[in-house]
């Protein structure tokens, strides 16, 4: 590599490092610990075409998921068009429902048959299989 080519590569590397440093948080110091922010994500269904774009215009009947395993209950809610799902440990111990198929539904809110907007929060309460 010629001396000029080597200088050009070095200049590009310096510019790249400077650009990456500029991507940091405002006022961030090199070597300072970064802050981690927890976020909550709700799965959004693609917008339907051909009709009014109002969630209040279209109400969805909440399916009955009583006694289903938690994975099947989530699938049924999503098939109905309900994606804003909240899950709760029915024992009150606050455990995460990590392996959905190992949990059975013991309750839901709103009740089955209720008509709700597509963005309504649906709470699914479950206990581990065998804990009833």
Return d(Cα 39, Cα 37) in angstroms, integer: 6
Domain at 89, CATH number: 3.30.10.20
36 domain residue, yes or no: no
pLDDT in tens, the chain (132 residues): 555 444 444 444 444 444 444 444 444 445 544 333 333 334 455 555 444 555 456 899 999 999 999 999 999 999 999 999 999 999 999 999 989 999 999 999 999 999 999 999 999 999 999 887
Burial 94-107 (b: 16+ CB within 10 A, else e): eeebeebeebbbbe
pLDDT at 130: 87
- Which pLDDT value is given to residue 16? 46
By residue range, what is the domain housing residue 95?
Answer: 59-128
- 33 belongs to a structural domain: no
Expressed in percent and rounded to 5, the helix, strand and coil fractions of the chain are: 25, 20, 55
Residue 91 lies in a domain: yes
- Is residue 14 situated within a structural domain? no
HEC string for 74-85 = HHHHHHHCCCCE
For residue 115 the two structure tokens come to 């008509």
Q: Looking at residue 131, what is its pLDDT?
A: 86
- The answer to the question of residue 1 being in a domain is no
Element (H, E) at 107: strand 103-109
Spatial distance between the Cα atoms of 108 and 64, rounded to a whole number of angstroms: 8
The total domain count for the chain is 1
pLDDT of the residue at 75: 97
Please report whether residue 41 resides in a domain: no
Would you say 54 and 46 are in contact if contact means Cβ atoms under 8 Å apart?
no
């Amino acid at each position: 590599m010629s001396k000029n080519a080597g200088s050009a590569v070095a200049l590009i590397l310096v510019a790249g490092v400077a650009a990456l440093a500029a991507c940091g948080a405002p006022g961030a110091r090199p070597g300072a610990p970064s802050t981690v922010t927890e976020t909550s994500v709700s799965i959004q269904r693609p917008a339907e075409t051909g009709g009014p774009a109002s969630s209040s215009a279209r109400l969805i009947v909440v399916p009955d998921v009583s006694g289903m395993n938690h994975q099947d209950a989530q699938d049924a809610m999503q098939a109905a068009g309900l994606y804003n799902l909240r899950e709760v440990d029915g024992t009150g111990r606050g455990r995460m429902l990590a392996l959905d198929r190992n949990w059975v539904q013991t309750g839901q809110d709103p009740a089955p048959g209720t008509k709700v907007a597509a963005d309504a929060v649906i709470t699914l309460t479950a206990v581990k299989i065998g804990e009833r």
